[in-house]
């Protein structure tokens, strides 16, 4: 009975070891022989020869162990600095990992998604930018269904704005909302209309754009947090805020009329602020003079009354003396203020005298 030769047996010098390089590797016959002996070796390992039971089992378990090891190694994954790792267990969200090297149970038990969380996404609302054509700038196409809003003073305004956002929680972003861009767009429209609805049109157009943007951004972020969207709003920027084209001329006329009204009101207020203090000062001066005159007249009347009573008391004591004195005082007062000429019959004419009244007048003028 012929003994079957194992491919492991190298006792025959005429047969070469299939695992050793041939001297002439370019010979096609040698390559075919090498492939054939390699196939025989694999069959021997899988089926076995005389030592089928021992070598076959070891070879099977070795291959199985290698396959398990390779399968286990597929669980390693790398998360880049701009990404977050989202691990799924049987297709369901399990946990989130930070940038770096991590491990999860191999597929199909667990799998991983690595969305970019540092890239800023931009959404245009109320308009769409179209491609640049031959250096003519960026044409803008208005979207009427998005850019019409009602202001706090019940005026219609057209607004275009942009929203920039990025992912802050990859797990919520991937599994809590179906269409992130549509969700952000709808929530942003609602937030902007809410902010415009409590603001007068002139503040939106000229005075308080920053306040409108800040209120819209806070409202939008609150809505997205309520939805657990995993999105962080970085900015809301108004690019246009005007009255509708159909009524822009009438609106400008109204604004000019309001400006004229404000100007005239300011001029009237300035005139009022100028005339009222002067009128109040004049009234206060007149009242003070009247009060002083009143006090003067009352005091003078009281003095006259006291003097009259004193004269009356003396007159009651000696009527003749008092009457004579009063006559002399009266004549002194009368003659003291008139020019006098003294005529004496004895001298036969005017009597010369010292002109004291003239001297007194000259002294008063000199002073």
- pLDDT category of residue 24 using cuts at 50, 70 and 90: very low
Q: Is residue 343 part of a domain?
A: no
Q: What percentage of the chain carries pLDDT values higher than 70? A: 77
Whether the pLDDT of residue 50 is over 90: the answer is no
Q: Using the predicted structure, report yes or no on whether residue 216 has a pLDDT greater than 70.
A: yes
pLDDT tens digits along 343-362:
777 767 666 666 666 677 77
User: Is 367 part of any domain?
Assistant: no
Residues 238, 254 share a domain: no
Is position 86 within any domain?
A: yes
Residues 320 and 266 both lie in one domain:
yes
Are 194 and 107 part of one and the same domain? no
> What pLDDT sits at residue 367?
67
Q: Which of 171, 165, 145, 161 is nearest to 224 (CA)?
A: 165
What torsion, rounded to 10 degrees, do the Cα atoms 180, 186, 191, 192 define? Answer: 120
Summary mean pLDDT of the chain: 78
Per-residue pLDDT tens digits for 235-268: 999 888 887 777 777 777 877 888 899 899 999 9
Give CA–CA dist 23/31, Å, rounded.
11
Confidence of residue 110 (pLDDT cuts 50, 70, 90): confident
Question: How sure is the predictor about 43, in pLDDT bands with cuts at 50, 70 and 90?
Answer: low
pLDDT band at 281 (very low <50, low <70, confident <90, very high): very high
Within this chain, do residues 41 and 68 fall inside the same structural domain, yes or no?
yes
Instruction: Check: CB of residue 229 under 8 Å from CB of residue 180.
Output: yes
Which has the higher per-residue pLDDT, 45 or 188? 188
User: What was the pLDDT predicted at 154?
Assistant: 81
Banded pLDDT at 32 (limits 50, 70, 90): low
| Residues 230 and 168: beta-carbon distance below 8 Å | yes
Helical residues (DSSP H) of the chain, grouped into ranges: 28-47, 52-73, 144-147, 170-175, 180-196, 201-202, 209-227, 248-317, 319-335, 356-366
Count of domains observed in the chain: 4
What is the mean pLDDT of the segment spanning 199-204? 83
Q: Is residue 215's pLDDT more than 60? A: yes
On whether both 157 and 95 belong to a single domain, the answer is no
CATH number for position 180? 3.30.479.30
Closest CA to 148 of 254, 244, 248: 244
List, in order, residues 6 or more apart from 180 with CB less than 8 Å away. 173, 229, 231
- Contact, 216 vs 160, CB < 8 A? no
Most confident listed range (2-6, 172-176, 186-190, 335-339): 186-190
Domain boundary among 209, 224, 243: 243
Instruction: Tell me the pLDDT tens digit for each residue of 140-153.
Output: 677 777 878 888 88
pLDDT at 107 > cutoff 60: yes
Structural domain boundaries enclosing 253:
248-338
Question: Could you tell me if residue 56 is inside a domain?
Answer: yes
Q: Are residues 302 and 262 in the same domain?
A: yes
Residue 351 lies in a domain: no
DSSP 168: S
pLDDT beyond 60 at 186: yes
What DSSP string runs through 213-260? HHHHHHHHHHHHHHHT--EEEEEEEEEEEE--GGGHHHHHHHHHHHHH
Across the range 31-42, mean pLDDT stands at 64
Task: DSSP for 70-124, please give it.
Answer: HHHHTTEEEE-TTB-EEEEETTEEEEEE-SEEEE-PTTTTEEEE--BSSPPEEEE
Residues 257, 298 within the same domain: yes
234 and 324 both lie in a single domain? no
Pick from 15-29, 107-121, 208-222: least confident: 15-29
Inside any domain, residue 215: yes
């Amino acid at each position: 009975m012929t003994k079957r030769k194992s491919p492991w047996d190298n006792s025959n010098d005429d047969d070469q070891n299939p695992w050793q390089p041939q001297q002439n590797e370019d010979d096609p016959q040698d390559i075919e022989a090498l492939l054939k002996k390699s196939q025989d070796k694999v069959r021997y390992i899988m089926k076995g020869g005389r030592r089928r039971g021992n070598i076959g089992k070891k070879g099977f378990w070795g291959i199985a162990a290698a396959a398990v090891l390779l399968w286990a190694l597929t669980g390693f994954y790398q998360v880049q600095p701009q990404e977050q790792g989202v691990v799924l267990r049987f297709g369901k969200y399990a946990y989130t990992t930070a940038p770096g090297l991590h491990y999860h149970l191999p597929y199909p038990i667990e799998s991983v998604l690595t969305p970019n969380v540092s890239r800023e996404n931009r959404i245009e609302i109320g308009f769409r930018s179209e491609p640049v054509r031959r250096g003519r700038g960026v044409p803008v196409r208005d979207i009427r269904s998005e850019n019409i809003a009602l202001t706090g003073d019940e005026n219609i305004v057209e607004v275009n704005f942009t929203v920039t956002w990025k992912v802050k929680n990859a797990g919520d972003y991937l599994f809590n909302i179906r269409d992130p861009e549509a969700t952000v767009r709808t929530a942003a429209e609602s937030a902007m209309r809410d902010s415009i609805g409590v603001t007068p049109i002139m503040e939106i157009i000229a005075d308080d754009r920053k306040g409108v943007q800040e209120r819209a951004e806070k409202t939008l972020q609150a809505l997205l947090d309520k939805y657990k969207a995993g999105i962080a709003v970085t900015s809301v920027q108004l690019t246009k805020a005007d009255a509708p084209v159909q009524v822009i001329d009438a609106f400008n006329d109204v604004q000019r009329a309001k400006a004229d009204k404000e100007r005239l009101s300011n001029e009237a207020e300035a005139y009022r602020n100028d005339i009222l203090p002067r009128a109040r000062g004049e009234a206060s001066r007149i009242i003070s003079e009247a009060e002083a005159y009143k006090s003067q007249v009352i005091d003078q009347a009281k003095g006259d009354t006291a003097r009259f009573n004193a004269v009356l008391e003396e007159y009651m004591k000696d009527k003749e003396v008092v009457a004579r004195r009063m006559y002399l005082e009266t004549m002194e007062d009368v003659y003291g203020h008139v020019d006098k000429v003294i005529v004496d019959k004895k001298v036969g004419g005017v009597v010369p005298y010292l002109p004291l009244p003239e001297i007194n007048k000259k002294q008063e003028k000199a002073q």
